[in-house]
Amino acid sequence: MKNYLYKQFYRNKAYVAALIFLFAAGMMSIYTGKKFLERNQDIIGKSKQFQKESIRKNVNYHKDDLGLILYYVKFNLINETPELAALNIGMRDVNPSVQGVTIRNLEEQRYNADFYNPASAAAGNFDFSFVLVFLFPLIIVAFCYNLISEEEESGRWKLLSVQSRHLGKLLDVKLFIRFSAVSIVYFLLVFVAAVWISIPFNSLFLAFIITGWLYLIFWFMLCRWIISFRKSSAQNALILLIVWVSMNFIIPMSSNILIQKFYPVQESLKAVMQQREGYHNKWDEPKQPTMQKFYTAYPQFAKFTVKEDDSFSWTWYYAMQHMGDLEASFSSQQYNEKMAKRNEAAKILGYFLPNIHTQLEGSRLAETGMENHLAFGDALRKFHEEKRLFFYPLIFSGKTPDAVNWNSQTVKTFHGAELLDPAVLFFPYLLIIIILLILSQNKFRKLC
């Protein structure tokens, strides 16, 4: 019987065409991810060369003014992009993997653009995660929606019920054949991606593979439960498509609106405005209050005094710039906290919706999600601080550009560290799968 069912499935040209289509879509998504990585690496390579050229040109143009050189020169920090990011681009197309900053104000350089909420799971890049979350379920629905109803509508169900006392097992064999076919396509695509993109087979990649496979199992269990009600083919298809649309569009979009309402984010623009006002106003204010606040923040620079009647001083200028950052620091902190809360709200929603959980956890494992973005922002702040504290004494003491070893001013890289928590990663899938299995099993027993 099993051999016959296997032959029956693979002789169906529509099923084979659907599998070929799914594989082709997966290959296109892998190609998209590979091109994204190549483009990203090209940008990183050019940023390294650009920083060298920028330093060389500015040192040649402003040979006697270190403060002026550092007004223009940008130092780049790279957010490392793992190969796994090719399968889940996430927010990396919105947030650049290279951030260049001068030693002047930081907040204005950080918040040139706002960022999207990861809870919005409706649309994204045509990467492998897109194919997994959106296209795989459609093929699964097409394979499973009429397993029982087709037999009933063709009149074969009564004959089968007379000849077999184990109709539930017969349906499970049909489901398993379809599950095996879809799983083969899935693992074949994963294998191709691993070889083509040279993804290292580590714990993160293994967790990524398992989460995707559990997501497919969820959809098969959902189909098993829906068809167990023995509705017509049209009703089954309609119900499953409504579930697919609700999970992928209606609920995420509605939740996104609520999340934005509960955690409104205007702080990025507010931080930029406060920072700009903070240092622009200093031009018309007395110098001493600004310097006193600066000395309080950095007592090691108190020896570099600025007189009120000085026409211009780099010491005062860079102190003024940093005061603008300090005045915007509270808004910047609020921005980060609200974005983190938005992400946590999306993660909680993902515990109930496997599609969102798959996207969020996939982006976390690939270091393309909100966690990585916020961690990179903290690293950028520390990077900017290190550059300022290195150059401030040289500028304030009137050193020439020759006092700096410019060859040591190379591009730095931020390395994210994602920790695996199997309970958080796999438990939401397993819980929903077990519940659907129990519900559908109760229905399947009545078929015998």
Listed range (91-100, 153-162, 191-200) with the worst mean pLDDT: 153-162
Farthest-apart Cα atoms in the chain, separation:
104
Q: Token digits for 271?
A: 């931080």
Cα distance between residue 37 and residue 30, in whole Å: 11
Q: What is the pLDDT of residues 350-363, one digit of tens each?
A: 999 999 999 999 99
pLDDT for residue 65 is more than 80: yes
Q: What is the pLDDT of residues 5-14, one digit of tens each?
A: 899 899 999 9
pLDDT for residue 275 is more than 70: no
Q: What average pLDDT does the chain have? A: 89
User: What are the domain boundaries of the chain?
Assistant: 2-445
The DSSP call for residue 36 is H
pLDDT for residue 124 is more than 60: no
Tell me if residue 78 falls in helix, strand or coil: strand
pLDDT for residue 183 is more than 50: yes
Chain centroid offset of residue 173 CA: 37
Structure confidence at residue 121 as a pLDDT band (50, 70, 90): very low
For residue 295, which of 316, 276, 279, 275 has the smallest C-alpha distance? 316
Q: What integer is the mean pLDDT of 237-250?
A: 96
Instruction: Work out the angle at residue 127's Cα, subtended by the Cα atoms of residues 125 and 133, and round it to the nearest 5 degrees.
Output: 95
Give the number of other CB atoms < 10 A from CB of residue 210.
Answer: 14
* pLDDT score recorded for residue 234: 94
Q: What is the pLDDT of residues 53-63, one digit of tens each?
A: 999 999 999 98
Model confidence, pTM? 0.90
pLDDT for residue 435 is more than 80: yes
Query: Which residue stretches of 228-286 are H helix?
Result: 233-245, 251-262, 267-280
* pLDDT score recorded for residue 276: 63
